[in-house]
């Protein structure tokens, strides 16, 4: 069991850190987004729709998130909308340009991943896919 845990620690975090670095590089290259701005766009896309909620979700300061959102609004990637049910709540939504920007960043990252996976044989790709399904089932989908 210890060898499995060791292999997990030697594989999953470095793979995620490398992938995350590639996503950030694509965001910076594509439109000059800061990490904070990219993280805000991602969260808005997932439905986290206020500066306070984004700050809480990423355990960041509200002023830092607010500054990032200001930049996104100025660039036309995000819109602020007053919630009609609670006028104190300012909802954040992606503009069409914001959605296209995120799509382009993720497409560039998928291209990078495809080049890495292209070096695998079909059997290796299937083994990796099976292993990732099992990993997800074991660590993500189970509760308790």
Every domain of the chain and the residues it spans: 2-141
DSSP designation for 79: E
pLDDT of the residue at 143: 56
Residue 77 and residue 69 in contact, taking contact as beta carbons nearer than 8 Å: no
19 is written with which tokens?
């992938």
Q: What percent of the chain has pLDDT over 70?
A: 98
Among 96, 101, 100, residue whose Cα is nearest residue 32: 101
Q: Is the model's pTM score more than 0.75?
A: no
pLDDT of the residue at 98: 95
pLDDT range class, residue 89, cuts 50, 70, 90 = confident
Among 109, 139, 144, 142, residue whose Cα is nearest residue 13: 139
**Is domain 2-141 classified as CATH 3.40.190.10?**
no
pLDDT of the residue at 100: 94
What average pLDDT does the chain have?
91
Long-range contacts, 54-63 (Cβ 8 Å, 24+): 54/92, 60/36
């Amino acid at each position: 069991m210890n060898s499995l845990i060791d292999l997990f620690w030697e594989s999953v975090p470095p793979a995620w850190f490398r992938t995350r670095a590639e996503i950030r590089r694509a965001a910076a290259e594509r439109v000059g987004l800061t990490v904070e701005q990219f993280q805000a766009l991602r969260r808005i896309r997932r439905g986290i729709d206020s500066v306070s909620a984004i700050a809480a979700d990423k355990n960041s300061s509200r002023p830092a998130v607010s500054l990032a959102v200001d930049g996104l609004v100025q660039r036309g990637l995000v819109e602020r909308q007053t919630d009609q049910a609670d006028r104190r709540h300012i909802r954040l939504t992606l503009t069409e340009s914001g959605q296209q920007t995120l799509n382009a960043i993720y497409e560039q990252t998928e291209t990078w991943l495809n080049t890495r996976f292209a070096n695998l044989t079909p059997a290796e790709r299937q083994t990796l896919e099976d292993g990732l399904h099992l990993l997800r089932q074991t660590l993500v989908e189970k509760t308790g």
